[in-house]
A and B are shown apart, each in its own frame.
Chain A
């Protein structure tokens, strides 16, 4: 937009993204995305137009709400991209069907029925197999797929009784059909193009976000490809979209799955239009990275009136944006699911998306792309060779996150490929390719490793580690054999045109072929190692840091080389870095690309590992072992922070307190440590981000139970620490070896015990004494210097004065000499460009040379609250309580001049808003009952009717406040706790639990799950609830203004002066 001379105003509630950086748009608001806030921004800024189609479903929904509220008309704001009519056409099922019928495009037959007689009639339209979906039942209860008339009758009758309004939708089943997607663009001149088509390896029935996706389609004939292309173009024209759009299709794979087709079967099989997104979507991001075509950029230009042929193709700089990318490689995307953290979650995949992120890999063979994608997933040691011990001859082939491994296991077990294809619905082409991988496994197992064989294995994407396992070599020996035999990857360019034109994009992928296009440059350059797929514990914050690092390098005149495997990121935009390697972030790929950058005689560029989360940090020691240079803090400094013994020794020598504890590797040592320091204790594996397998345990029995899980993480020792109940405080610091700059201190609203990533964090701290602040600054400074940190460091403290009377009561819990997830938040609220300063330090410029002094940065006259966002409603069977194990997948921010409105905004933005009069369900544990009095009184004063479990109801009534008792157990009377939530009697829940006792958790599980599925606020920490309720008590107005206006203009960072 800036290129077009347009002043842009951006609003988003997410502080972790690059887009809310103040350099991206002309004005940036980090405010909740609500109609009220948007109206205030519109009234203040008076924009000519609004572009909602780049903000996902949130943007579209907000556009509709603003239009319906008359705000767009009132302020004369034009809607760009998609009109309200278009959005409605695509979103409203009936309007959409009518539109498709009008333009002659097929959709699956469906009928709404309310009686068995109607259902019989519907069957004539829909045919068998049929999908039965009861209306208004949670999780599709009472529905199913009927293959026979008997099943049909049984399921329909069940569904009618399960539905509270006795209504079911009967729909033609497309189970097992191929699923395809087309990314389409259209300009106001009606020029339409297809950017990319994609084929799901998983057939219909699995959400496309949960499917393994291949681009371009592999099993479609030219005729079929263009049949669907024609349909996609027809649809975007009918919708009148100016910009991008995504169309999903189901295509019959064989005549036998569509017995009722007849006439046209000689030429082509039937297809159906499944869904249209009239906006830039997750698939668009993938398509952009898969093709090199910058969809969002072009969509924005179209929205402001450009024609496709007037927009330059920034890849070739010779041609225009009006063309269709030609790929000369294969792209495979694999979703990243959170089941490594949610072991109890339902792993079955269906219509509800469960993945938190995705990886993409590019190669010139399908097998290579698939195997590189699997290597990119970073699921604890799960290589392609992984299989579950219980998978014997017939592994389960239904759709789960583990299916690709199950298919491989089935092939290894000897199941016929055709049978696998029949059972899984996966096209034989893909199964045959997996068969080829297994065949190579067998050869590697039995044959001598020769140059020819090794070369073939590499072409099929086998990693050195897998080859080593199969050939019974050490991985390093495979690597040296490759060097000796000159088997190394070549890097080819993603250029949108299959090499037809000379392209200028420095976007590369590895493949085992002859010609290398990524010729090393002789300019100064450094490698930024990215953070891989978005997962719980490692979100978009680290991509923010990687992007900022690349910019900082370029600003300093150093070429930034980026390595990452995640297509959803800004770091993998080809114009973010000087050169992009789309590669797995493992030792092999990083060393290969460093070797390529080194060239024949040159030196490998220095790697920056501080910004890519644990992914990049984990590579540090491997690079160090291979004598490859690392910028900033050394691999040894990183190890120092993670090695309990060494770290403890440093703290002791510095006289800095930490909770007592030690690192152990046997249960006996664990028990004796716990006895010595006293329960409760915190149990966690070392070297793990996001608190995986971390628990607070109350007694020896629980310790026994959780110790095994922590040890199973296989990261070395298990840490046993005294659990100190107190306020948690966190700082990010920047050290140049001489001075330590602390941009700010953040205080957590939830007390220690809730993972820092799931806590609400407040800047500046609201409850710390001067002495405590001084201690935090002092400890941080001395630790950073003692550990020889160069760059960023994150420290977590617990403040528990009672644990050590007489002092400030500040204890160090954890130190990480790297970028943390609070860096973007803190950078934005303080205005200190932390990543840039850290990168400059790595380049040899001290803090002083950059114009900064050590110590705490001047506190800003604002209060900012960072709140976690969860995607729990999609993860059936996962308990939503907050604990030491991180569960959130994103964050929002509320900022204002004082605490209450800032918290209120954070609550609104994270979906926890409560208004006066909201009826509550309370179930408060004994431990927190004493602290709940004020909360209960405040609720009462705010006119909130209270429903409570028996013990809590007694507590409320003892305060002289009325409460309705609701049975806790589901088998007692009705309405019980679940009923009051489901029936909408209560609109918010407070359900706290004590300690880590699993049996107690089970009691509240139904309450929490039901609240989550009903999408109402559910507070599981008394601290969060108190903060939310406190904001209820002072509902006064909040500010809406650009972020920089909250800050103190007299403390602008030197970098921005």
Chain B
């Protein structure tokens, strides 16, 4: 059915800036999609990934060939909208099966205006990207490869755009989730207050904090340190987000104003910002880390955790100041996966402890953050 029906769907092309072209059929919305083409090796979690703001400006390729198997549900969006520019798959099913499913992946993308291409030899594409590095590309249904390539060359490069500005909240807001009841402290005091600097936050980060008894406020990326401290936070979380951290001088300054005055946890882009603050520029990886199987070794315990990752930039460990230690490293390529401040309650991780999608091995880091928040709380109350 679906395959036969997809044969009735319009032919589509994925054209890369280096001239390589992949044929497929158009699914999702009509129209063009242009972005940096990246791949993710996770075998599940497409809805969470598509709505992860860190994919802003990118065309996502799923290496697992069957996408859409369990449909789309009402709980798995990680942000308000689909964030990817386009989606590249081997096969997109019209026949999902899951009791929670409310629509098909195709409908979901079509309704949100996101073009996608199916029936692509995604393994060939992945092999191309891994050897050549990530590259700009465009999905088209109504052009020849030459026309699409010419158009692609006129569009701005991924590196030129500050995507954080496009995904961050415009106004501060308090995070609420009817599925997570906020448990208030037994002694009647106010719950700890965590401010999340929204560089492209995923909902599950805020959900996990709320599950741990925190009242969560998200603030725009432009919020300055003094403004954040004025909200009387018990801790600040620097969120993940899209794009090049070298474009985010203002966020580095904000971090500088927070550290030493409140516990700080940084995730992904938030981690890279803290890295910059302590002397290390970020550099672009050839094809990034995107998947749910990335091994990270905790340098203190020697234990290895399997983590979800989604980043194209890494912190240059060679230039860190002695204020921080690279506390975790990636087993495959030795890149810095975590920083620990020597004296302040500040730690960061390059990977996604919040999972969604991905493994929950490192969810305990939110407990660690909350306990540093709570001990700070105790100190404050003692004063």
Which residues of A, 423-445, contact B by the 8 Å Cβ criterion?
427-429, 432-433, 435-436, 439-440, 443
A502 contacts B130, C-beta separation under 8 Å: yes
CB of A492 within 8 A of CB of B123, answer yes
Q: How far is the CA of A669 from the CA of B293 in the complex (A)?
A: 67
Q: Given that A220-B44, A309-B297, A330-B66 are contacting pairs, would A324 and B292 also be in contact in the complex, using a CB cutoff of 8 Å?
A: yes
Q: Are B297 and A218 in contact (CB under 8 A)?
A: no
17 A-B residue pairings within 8 Å (CB atoms): A189-B301, A193-B295, A219-B98, A222-B45, A223-B76, A254-B99, A320-B331, A323-B331, A328-B65, A365-B91, A433-B95, A436-B3, A439-B4, A498-B291, A499-B130, A500-B41, A500-B130
Q: Would you call A326 and B360 a contact (CB within 8 A)?
A: no
* Residues of the A chain whose Cβ atoms lie less than 8 Å from the Cβ of B4: 436, 439-440, 443, 456
Q: Shortest distance in angstroms between A455's beta carbon and chain B's nearest beta carbon?
A: 9
Nearest 10 Cβ contacts at the A-B interface: A222-B45, A429-B97, A515-B124, A326-B41, A498-B63, A324-B293, A498-B41, A222-B357, A499-B126, A222-B44
Residues A498 and B126 in contact, CB atoms below 8 Å apart: yes
For A217, A365, A499, the residue with the greatest tally of chain B CB atoms inside 10 Å of its CB is A499
Q: Which residues in window 89-115 of B have CB below 8 A to A? A: 90-91, 95-100
What would 14 more interface pairs be, CB under 8 Å, given A323-B331, A435-B1?
A189-B303, A191-B305, A226-B355, A266-B75, A320-B331, A323-B295, A326-B42, A432-B1, A432-B95, A439-B1, A456-B3, A456-B7, A502-B130, A513-B124
A491 to chain B, nearest CB (A): 11
B64 at the A interface (CB under 8 A):
yes
A365 to B66, CA, bound (A): 7
Q: Which of A309-324 contact B (CB under 8 A)?
A: 309, 318-320, 322-324
| Interchain CB contact (< 8 A) of B121 among A216, A327, A436, A514 | A514
- With a cutoff of 8 Å between Cβ atoms, the chain B residues found around residue A456 in the complex are 3-4, 7
- Mask, A514-542, CB within 8 Å of B = 1, is 11010000000000000000000000000
Q: A216-B43, A324-B306 are in contact. Are A253 and B99 (CB under 8 A)?
A: yes
Complex contact B64–A327 (CB within 8 A): yes
A459 interfacial by beta-carbon distance below 8 Å: yes
Contacts of B301 in A (CB 8 A): 189
**Taking the nearest CB of chain A, how far is it from the CB of B96, in angstroms?**
7
> Is A978 on the interface with B (CB-CB < 8 A)?
no
A456-B3, A459-B3 are contacts. A320–B63 as well, Cβ < 8 Å? no
A326 to B294, CA, bound (A): 10
> Would you give the 0/1 interface string for B320-333, flagging 1 where the beta carbon is closer than 8 Å to chain A?
00000000000110
Contact A229 B359 (CB under 8 A): yes
Task: Indicate whether B144 reaches chain A with its CB closer than 8 angstroms.
Answer: no
Q: In chain B, what residue has the closest Cβ to A254? A: B99
A225 in contact (CB, < 8 A): yes
A-binding residues in B (CB < 8 A): 1-4, 7, 39, 41-45, 47-48, 63-66, 69-70, 73, 75-76, 90-91, 95-100, 121-124, 126-127, 130-131, 179, 287, 291-295, 297, 301-306, 331-332, 355-361
Tell me the A249-266 residues at the B interface (CB within 8 Å): 253-255, 266
Contacts of B98 in A (CB 8 A): 219, 221
A218-B66, A429-B69 given; A323·B306 CB < 8 A: yes
Q: Are A267 and B75 within 8 A (Cβ)?
A: yes
Smallest Cβ-Cβ distance to B101: which chain A residue = A221
Residues of A close to B332: CB separation below 8 A: 318-320, 323, 501
CA distance A435 to B5 in the complex (A): 14
Q: Who on chain B is nearest to A187 by CB?
A: B304
Cβ–Cβ < 8 Å partners of A230 in chain B? 360
A193 to B90: give the CA distance in the assembly, Å.
27
User: Given A323, A459, A513, which contacts B123 in the complex, CB threshold below 8 Å?
Assistant: A513
Take A221-B44, A322-B331, A499-B63 as given contacts and tell me if A328 and B95 are in contact as well, using a CB distance cutoff of 8 Å: no
CB distance from A418 to the nearest CB of B (A): 11
Contacts of B358 in A (CB 8 A): 222, 226
Chain A residues with a Cβ closer than 8 Å to the other chain, count: 67
Q: How far is the CB of A190 from chain B (nearest CB, A)?
A: 6
Q: Does A625 contact B (CB under 8 A)?
A: no
Contact B127 A365 (CB under 8 A): no
Bound together, the chains give a CA A222 to CA B47 distance in angstroms of 9
- In contact, A514 and B42 (Cβ under 8 angstroms): no
Do residues B41 and A497 form an inter-chain contact, with CB atoms below 8 A? yes
CB contacts (< 8 Å) of A498 on chain B: these are 41, 63-64, 123, 126, 291
CB-defined contacts of A327 to chain B, threshold 8 Å = 43, 64
Indicate the member of A225, A255, A269, A500 with the most B CB atoms within 10 Å: A500
Chain B residues with CB below 8 A from A328, complex form? 41, 63-65, 122-123, 126
Q: Is the CB of A326 within 8 A of B43?
A: yes
Contact of A452 with B by CB under 8 A:
yes
Assess the B123–A193 pair: CB atoms within 8 A. Answer: no
User: Does any Cβ of B come within 8 Å of A329's Cβ?
Assistant: yes
CB distance B293 to A323 under 8 Å? yes
Decide if A977 is an interface residue (CB 8 Å cutoff).
no
The answer to the question of A308 belonging to the interface, with a C-beta cut-off of 8 Å to chain B, is: yes
Q: Which residues 356-374 of A have a CB within 8 angstroms of B?
A: 364-366
Contact assessment for A429 and B41 in the assembled complex, using a CB-CB cutoff below 8 Å:
no
Q: Give the nearest-CB partner of B45 in chain A.
A: A222
* B159 CB, nearest partner CB in chain A, Å: 22
Q: Which residues of A contact B131 (CB under 8 A)?
A: 502
Q: Note all chain B residues with C-beta closer than 8 A to A221.
A: 44, 70, 73, 76, 98, 100
Q: Given A218-B66, A230-B360, A499-B130, are A189 and B121 neighbors across the interface (CB < 8 Å)? A: no
Q: Residues of A contacting B73 with CB < 8 Å? A: 221
**Is A307 close to B, CB under 8 A?**
yes
Nearest A residue to B129, CB-CB: A499
In the complex, what residues of A have CB within 8 A of residue B63's CB? 326, 328, 498-500
Question: Could you tell me if A330 and B360 are in contact, using CB atoms closer than 8 angstroms?
Answer: no
A443 to B355, CA, bound (A): 44
Question: Which of chain B's residues has its CB closest to A197's CB?
Answer: B43
Cβ of B204 to closest chain A Cβ, rounded Å = 10
Q: Is A460's beta carbon under 8 Å from chain B?
A: yes
Task: Output the least CB separation between A504 and chain B (Å).
Answer: 14
Contacts of B70 in A (CB 8 A): 219-221
Minimum CB distance partner of A428 in chain B: B97
How far, in Å, is A242 (CB) from chain B's closest CB?
A: 14
**A255 and B99 in contact, given A323-B331, A324-B306 (Cβ under 8 angstroms):** yes
- A916 CB–B CB distance under 8 Å: no
Alpha-carbon distance A432/B361, docked complex (angstroms): 34
A325 within 8 A of B: yes
Contact of A501 with B124 at beta-carbon distance under 8 Å, contacts A218-B66, A229-B359 already known: no
Taking CB atoms, residues of chain A closer than 8 Å to B123 are 328, 364, 492, 498-499, 513, 515
Return chain A residues, CB-CB under 8 Å to B293. Answer: 323-326, 497
Q: Find chain B residues with CB under 8 A from A435 CB.
A: 1
Chain A nearest CB from B111 CB (Å) reads 20
CB proximity of B308 to chain A, nearest CB, Å: 10
Q: Are B97 and A432 in contact (CB under 8 A)?
A: yes
B122 touching A500, Cβ below 8 Å: no
B126 / chain A contacts, CB cutoff of 8 Å: 328, 498-500
Chain A contacts for B7, CB-based, 8 A: 452, 456
Chain B CB within 10 Å, residue with most, of A254, A308, A324, A492 = A324
Q: Chain A residues near B130: list those with CB within 8 A.
A: 499-502
Query: Across the two chains, which residue of chain B brings its CB closest to A215?
Result: B43
- Docked pose: A436 CA to B2 CA in angstroms: 7
Return the chain B residue nearest A496 by Cβ.
Answer: B293
288-343 of chain A: CB within 8 A of chain B: 307-309, 318-320, 322-330
Chain A 588-622 interface 0/1 with B at a Cβ cutoff of 8 Å (1 = within):
00000000000000000000000000000000000
Q: How far, in Å, is A786 (CB) from chain B's closest CB?
A: 52
Separation of A838 and B135 alpha carbons in the complex (Å):
54
Contact A191 B127 (CB under 8 A): no
A761 to B95, CA, bound (A): 56
**Residue in A closest to B71 when the chains form the complex, CB atoms:** A221
A267 engages B179 (CB within 8 Å): yes
A481-513: CB near B (< 8 Å → 1, else 0) gives: 000000000001000011111100000000001
Q: Contacts of B303 on A, CB cut-off 8 Å?
A: 189-191
